[in-house]
Chain A
Amino acid sequence: MAPKVEVHEESSILQAVILTECDIDYGAAITHYNPKVLVPLANTPLLDYTLAWLERCGVDEVIVYCRTNTHTDKIKQHCKRFTSRREDCGIKVMVVVSEDCLNLGDAMRDLYSKSLLKDDFILLQGDLVATLDLQDIVAKHKENRLSDKSMIMTCVYVNKPTETTTTAAMEGEEERGKEVTATLVTAADTGKLLLHRRTRSKSSKISIPTELFQASSDLLTYPAAYDPSLAICSEVVPSLFSDNFDYGSRDSLLRGVIEQEELLGYSIRCQVVQDGYACRASTLQQYQRVSGEVMRREAYPMVCESSLTSHRIRYTYDPFTTTYWEPSAKFTKGNGGTSEVVVGAGTEVDAGVLLTASVVGDHCTLSDGVRANAAFIMNNVHIKSGCQLDHCYIGDDVVLEEGVVVSSGCVVGPGVRLGPHVTIPPGTQLVSRPPSSTHTPDHHHDFDETTRVKEADPSICGVKGKAFILLPEETNQDDDDDDDESSDDDGRSSGPDDGDSEDALMMMSDDEHSENEFRREVQESLMNGMSKKSAAENMVLEINASRHAYNVSMEDVLTTVTQGILRAGQKQDGGTEPTWPGINTALKCFVDVLRNYVRKGRDQLLVLNAIEKLMVDSPEFLPATQKILFNLNQTFEILEGEVILHWYKKGGAGTTAFTTIKTSIAQFIEWLEKDSEDEEDSEDEEDSDEESS
């Protein structure tokens, strides 16, 4: 067995795909100047950690996948530098650039069409710092592939038995935790993944569908396994992505494969690794955490003092205080509680500086009295005396005059000048140029919507300062892997990059985005269907296709369809005022479509609520409400009288429009009540049961 596997491995090369457009980035103040994967972590670009690890694990060929933008050349050059250090025997790095890659799914489809992937390959994100034993994982994957042909992918998770990693607690850590952990249910004997769910909160209860027992009598449940977004994929995976255009992220692939197991005949396995280190520096909070862990040598053998590109020892390491410094740095170590610090070449740190858990780049000066805790200072930064930095990121060439206080969660972009004597409120992002001028056509961050600040405001950046506040917005919506994750994933909308500053900002979450798209599509389908007089089945098919593409729940579909039909009636008339005849023709046209979605009493309530919500947005429908309800009740027999009465008594959906609706349909209700006096009570109970169940 063993030699056979070796022969197999020799004959084929092991490939890895690194996605550089990660699902979450650090915010425009950083990524506008430097791609995320080249942001230095402990003075080494993130990508180097990944490359060094893959090289050590015997990966032959790495495909660095990125999108055409201003950073493409930087990444290319960096990869060239990395490989040029090595002889021919070293790892091969290939940079693949795509024009329009929005998510992992697009990347897979693109690589499939370019047929660059030959065999099993490793799929990972560029911000991963890991020391897992990949060879072992890949070997197990291949072994499983041999025994089970239907297995197409091995997802790697890390289960840390003790929660040592969260000792470096920081703000927003709890929320971060949600995104990167997943609840897994696997078959105990094979490790086949049966259920995959993003963990909502730490204390949430896990519910397991009992039908899973049919698949396996013993299930192994991981309540919260850390997900380093690492997977060993077979060549089937890219083809599956290209067959299913609605697969955007790995999560959507997981869901698709698990849900349609009988249809596709594929399965996914999990390997939950106990040993080794793996953590993604996905957000700035995670960046800080990983940085600390690398400094504490948890990612050994990837430690700060040895360069990952050249393997030479570049820093002096003091294990007692966990400090690293370049010999050329003028750095008085032990100057009062310095610990967990990395200081780069040519940097001058005065004796009175208090540094903890921080990284200082090359050629910086830190004057007397500077206090920095968990500050990440890039190159050529000059910080004058009396500055205080806390949990912040300071870009290249920043100058902080005397007495500047940078609060936690701040990002100071490259070239910014601040001070003297200003305090930057928590969670501020500062850039050196006005945000509007930073806009470049081929860049994915869209600054147009940002509130523009033309002149630097001295009240913000100080009299000598030059800085502009960059208001965070939904910039990374497009490159978000989990675009279609939507309906149930609201945890992530609360802070794509910086965590603590978004309270006052209106942000459109992924959900809303996809919902809007879905609404638009349904509306279009309905309009088309009305003009072409399409059959109801075709309409339902079309709507369901949109539903799957945007992963909208059944309830939302019903709401959207109901409102869409009424709006179609309005538009059909041409006028802005909705008239009853128009609505009536629309209803007649789509009654079968609607009926298809209304199955239970609860659905009827949803229809009623949808109508009510429509009134909130467009009160012009109000006069027609009574007729709409009457026809739905009597002519089309979609809504039952009892349900309407129940809904009416419960106060509708509780929106502001209900009071007006109440008066406008009073007549109809009265008529209904008379009609069904005798049955009312019993029906009422049934309805409420249905609603609660």
Chain B
Amino acid sequence: MPAQSSLSEECGGENAALLLLKFLKIRQEHKMCNCYIASVEIKMRPEVQAVVLAAGPGMRMTALTATSPKCLLPLATLPMLAFPLHLLQQAGLEEATVVVAAGEEVRVSKVVEQCGLTINVDSAPVNTSTDPGTADSLRHILHKIKRNVDDVVIVSSDLVTDVKLQDVLDFHRAHGSTLTALTAPLTPPQHQPAPGPKTKPFTSSDVMVTESESGRLVLVVAGGDYDHTLTLPSVRSSKAPLLVSTSLLDAHLYIVKRSILEQCLAKESACQDMGSFKAEILPYIVSRQFQPQNKEAGPDEDFESLVSQYNTSVVMSRHHTSASFSSITCYAYKHQGLCVRVNTIPTYWDINRRMYSLIDKVLPGLSEPRRHPSAQIHEKAQVSEDSVVGAGTLVSEKTNITSCVLASHCRVDPMARLSNSVLAHHTAITSGCVVENSLVRASLNHKCVLKNCIVTDSSRIQEGKTYMNEILEATPEFV
């Protein structure tokens, strides 16, 4: 078990003893008492590098992403990207590489200071005109991955979870895992229906096959990639039952050994044509676990075998031993708490509505008040307790606001009535508007009634009209 012979730096010296205890506990839990920690060396060297994939166009929520990149869509008052960044920061990471669509670098790097995060963000723009997949994005920033890190944390920008990344990292190291994927039970949205026209989105769910006790990943098939039958890899000596699950959410948070990632993303690799990390490279790595030793040994490995053969004085470091594909083991970390991917309008809507109660869980330590002190709420305005009011928002008198999210710098004029709705930044609601169960991303300059609507273009609103179950967006044809 060479992978655990030293403790990670990112936890700092003062935490080392604590971490050691944690380690011992994990080992006990996983009955790995036969190995011991030879030495505790504290090196000022990052063991983990984080990559946030934030260049996604948000294809499943085009009504919202037409005007703003997906990773900057606000969840309550904070941009979506702040959540994964905060997750990484909580685990002690000091730096994160964020892959963003070209042209959004500046806005993205501002997120950190806006939200009071301390993590350093290194944004890496990719050209989104060719519609790059996640694997393409990773290839693009491959040179940014430092040679001396062990593991790479790949996280999608749309992840909202209350998992402790440190726990996942501990799990990853304790199991000597090559690839650890964060999974959680798939939960339907609590707040339904989402605004907009009624749609029944059909997405066939992913299939994840794990060993029921250890959580070892046996097979991963992305949704829709299977036919009438699913073939499990041949049974190994272990008789542990296999859990074939379609109700697990792949949270798109992976901890991958750098060496494997580099091998998979290298030009001559078998994965060179793969576009998606989740749907293609992940199944590939998982399936490699059960294949016989690879024949396509690269020149490096030949060299290594020569070294080990003729130079017995060389003791392989863990970086060497982990470089070969031979000992791939993939695990799924099963998180039982909150874990949501905000990649569709229903999930976006649901998370926004739940943010009032979730904010302490998903952003511990980042005290974003539910009612920002700079917000001006008129004393004659009725704002229900479970509403979130952002900075600089002005709520006038004789307004009624129940269970709403008002982002920063909104303006609600007198006599407006809002319920169960979400307002984006800088949204003004003119007096007399009635907004129910709607997502408003543009100012309502005319008196109107909105029910179950998504508004992204105010020019579509006409005075005194009632809109129901509609998406009021700027249609490209008219522009």
Q: Which residues of A contact B (CB under 8 A)?
A: 159-163, 185, 188, 202-211, 213, 217-225, 272
Known: A207-B230, A208-B230, A210-B229. A224 touches B235 (CB 8 A): yes
Known: A210-B229, A211-B228. A218 touches B235 (CB 8 A): no
Q: Decide if B234 touches A203 in the complex (CB within 8 Å).
A: yes
Known: A205-B232, A217-B246, A223-B235. A210 touches B226 (CB 8 A): yes
Closest-CB distance, A186 to chain B (whole angstroms): 9
Closest-CB distance, B227 to chain A (whole angstroms): 7
Partner of B241, one of A204, A209, A210, A272: A272
Q: Decide if B235 touches A219 in the complex (CB within 8 Å).
A: no
Extra contacts besides A209-B230, A210-B226, A223-B235 (4): CB < 8 Å? A185-B244, A206-B232, A220-B212, A221-B232
- Cα distance A220–B209 in the bound complex, in angstroms: 9
Q: List 27 A-B contacts (CB under 8 A).
A: A159-B239, A159-B241, A161-B238, A163-B237, A204-B235, A205-B231, A205-B235, A206-B235, A207-B229, A207-B231, A208-B229, A208-B230, A209-B229, A210-B226, A210-B228, A218-B244, A220-B241, A220-B243, A221-B209, A221-B232, A221-B241, A221-B242, A222-B241, A223-B232, A223-B235, A223-B241, A272-B241
Known: A159-B239, A210-B226. A205 touches B244 (CB 8 A): no
**Which chain A residues border B239 with CB–CB below 8 Å?**
159-163, 222-225
Q: Decide if A220 touches B235 in the complex (CB within 8 Å).
A: no
- Cα distance A225–B239 in the bound complex, in angstroms: 8
- Cα distance A296–B83 in the bound complex, in angstroms: 58
Q: Decide if B234 touches A218 in the complex (CB within 8 Å).
A: no
Closest-CB distance, A238 to chain B (whole angstroms): 31
Partner of B244, one of A160, A162, A208: A208
**Which chain A residues border B233 with CB–CB below 8 Å?**
205
Interface size range of chain B in the complex = 20 to 34
What residue of chain A has the Cβ atom nearest to residue B243's Cβ? Answer: A220
Q: Decide if B242 touches A223 in the complex (CB within 8 Å).
A: yes
Partner of A218, one of B229, B231, B245: B245
What residue of chain A has the Cβ atom nearest to residue B235's Cβ? Answer: A223
Q: Decide if A207 touches B232 in the complex (CB within 8 Å).
A: yes
Interface residues of B in 217-268 (CB under 8 A from A): 226-235, 237-247
Q: Decide if B243 touches A221 in the complex (CB within 8 Å).
A: yes
- Cα distance A224–B233 in the bound complex, in angstroms: 13
Q: Decide if A221 touches B231 in the complex (CB within 8 Å).
A: no
Partner of A188, one of B237, B238, B240, B243: B243
**Which chain A residues border B243 with CB–CB below 8 Å?**
188, 218-221
Q: Decide if A219 touches B228 in the complex (CB within 8 Å).
A: no
What residue of chain A has the Cβ atom nearest to residue B244's Cβ? Answer: A219
Q: Decide if A205 touches B245 in the complex (CB within 8 Å).
A: no
Closest-CB distance, A646 to chain B (whole angstroms): 26
**Which chain B residues border A211 with CB–CB below 8 Å?**
228
- Cα distance A594–B241 in the bound complex, in angstroms: 45
**Residue-wise interface mask of B (194-223) relative to A, using a CB-CB cutoff of 8 A (1 in contact, 0 not):** 000000000001010100100000000000
Q: Decide if A208 touches B232 in the complex (CB within 8 Å).
A: yes
**Which chain A residues border B209 with CB–CB below 8 Å?**
221
Closest-CB distance, A541 to chain B (whole angstroms): 29
Q: Decide if A220 touches B244 in the complex (CB within 8 Å).
A: yes
Closest-CB distance, B81 to chain A (whole angstroms): 31
**Which chain A residues border B245 with CB–CB below 8 Å?**
188, 217-219
Partner of A202, one of B235, B246, B247: B235
Q: Decide if B231 touches A217 in the complex (CB within 8 Å).
A: no
**Which chain A residues border B227 with CB–CB below 8 Å?**
210
Closest-CB distance, A451 to chain B (whole angstroms): 42
- Cα distance A277–B458 in the bound complex, in angstroms: 73
Closest-CB distance, A198 to chain B (whole angstroms): 14
**Which chain A residues border B237 with CB–CB below 8 Å?**
163
Q: Which residues of B contact A (CB under 8 A)?
A: 205, 207, 209, 212, 226-235, 237-247
Partner of A217, one of B212, B241, B247: B247
**Which chain B residues border A209 with CB–CB below 8 Å?**
228-230
What residue of chain A has the Cβ atom nearest to residue B226's Cβ? Answer: A210
**Which chain B residues border A204 with CB–CB below 8 Å?**
234-235
**Which chain A residues border B229 with CB–CB below 8 Å?**
207-210
**Which chain A residues border B232 with CB–CB below 8 Å?**
205-208, 221, 223
Closest-CB distance, B391 to chain A (whole angstroms): 42
Closest-CB distance, A174 to chain B (whole angstroms): 13
- Cα distance A220–B212 in the bound complex, in angstroms: 8
**Which chain A residues border B235 with CB–CB below 8 Å?**
202-206, 223-224
**Which chain A residues border B247 with CB–CB below 8 Å?**
217-218
Closest-CB distance, A159 to chain B (whole angstroms): 6
Closest-CB distance, B31 to chain A (whole angstroms): 12
**Which chain A residues border B231 with CB–CB below 8 Å?**
205-208
The 7 A-B pairs with the shortest beta carbon distances in the complex, nearest first, are: A223-B235, A217-B247, A219-B244, A221-B242, A206-B232, A207-B229, A207-B231
- Cα distance A127–B226 in the bound complex, in angstroms: 43
- Cα distance A185–B230 in the bound complex, in angstroms: 12
What residue of chain A has the Cβ atom nearest to residue B208's Cβ? Answer: A218
**Which chain A residues border B207 with CB–CB below 8 Å?**
210, 213
Closest-CB distance, B203 to chain A (whole angstroms): 13
- Cα distance A519–B127 in the bound complex, in angstroms: 69
- Cα distance A156–B438 in the bound complex, in angstroms: 54
**Which chain A residues border B212 with CB–CB below 8 Å?**
220
**Which chain B residues border A202 with CB–CB below 8 Å?**
235
- Cα distance A488–B93 in the bound complex, in angstroms: 57
Q: Decide if B230 touches A220 in the complex (CB within 8 Å).
A: no
What residue of chain A has the Cβ atom nearest to residue B229's Cβ? Answer: A207
- Cα distance A60–B212 in the bound complex, in angstroms: 37
- Cα distance A210–B228 in the bound complex, in angstroms: 5
**Which chain A residues border B242 with CB–CB below 8 Å?**
220-223
Closest-CB distance, B370 to chain A (whole angstroms): 35
- Cα distance A203–B242 in the bound complex, in angstroms: 15
Closest-CB distance, B320 to chain A (whole angstroms): 31
Closest-CB distance, B230 to chain A (whole angstroms): 5
- Cα distance A9–B243 in the bound complex, in angstroms: 34
**Which chain B residues border A188 with CB–CB below 8 Å?**
243, 245
- Cα distance A204–B205 in the bound complex, in angstroms: 26
Closest-CB distance, B282 to chain A (whole angstroms): 19
What residue of chain A has the Cβ atom nearest to residue B218's Cβ? Answer: A221
Interface centre among B227, B233, B234 (most CB of A within 10 A): B234
- Cα distance A327–B229 in the bound complex, in angstroms: 62
- Cα distance A71–B232 in the bound complex, in angstroms: 47
**Which chain B residues border A221 with CB–CB below 8 Å?**
209, 232, 241-244
- Cα distance A220–B247 in the bound complex, in angstroms: 13
- Cα distance A160–B207 in the bound complex, in angstroms: 26
What residue of chain B has the Cβ atom nearest to residue A203's Cβ? Answer: B234
**Which chain B residues border A185 with CB–CB below 8 Å?**
244
- Cα distance A616–B207 in the bound complex, in angstroms: 49
Closest-CB distance, B232 to chain A (whole angstroms): 4
- Cα distance A203–B230 in the bound complex, in angstroms: 16
Closest-CB distance, A673 to chain B (whole angstroms): 37
- Cα distance A560–B228 in the bound complex, in angstroms: 29
**Which chain A residues border B244 with CB–CB below 8 Å?**
185, 208, 218-221
**Which chain B residues border A210 with CB–CB below 8 Å?**
207, 226-230
Closest-CB distance, A191 to chain B (whole angstroms): 11
Closest-CB distance, B145 to chain A (whole angstroms): 35
Q: Decide if B226 touches A205 in the complex (CB within 8 Å).
A: no
- Cα distance A391–B239 in the bound complex, in angstroms: 28
Closest-CB distance, A293 to chain B (whole angstroms): 17
**Which chain B residues border A163 with CB–CB below 8 Å?**
237, 239
Closest-CB distance, B210 to chain A (whole angstroms): 10
What residue of chain B has the Cβ atom nearest to residue A226's Cβ? Answer: B239
- Cα distance A273–B227 in the bound complex, in angstroms: 32
- Cα distance A208–B207 in the bound complex, in angstroms: 12
- Cα distance A211–B228 in the bound complex, in angstroms: 7
- Cα distance A514–B333 in the bound complex, in angstroms: 50
- Cα distance A220–B231 in the bound complex, in angstroms: 14
**Which chain A residues border B246 with CB–CB below 8 Å?**
213, 217-218
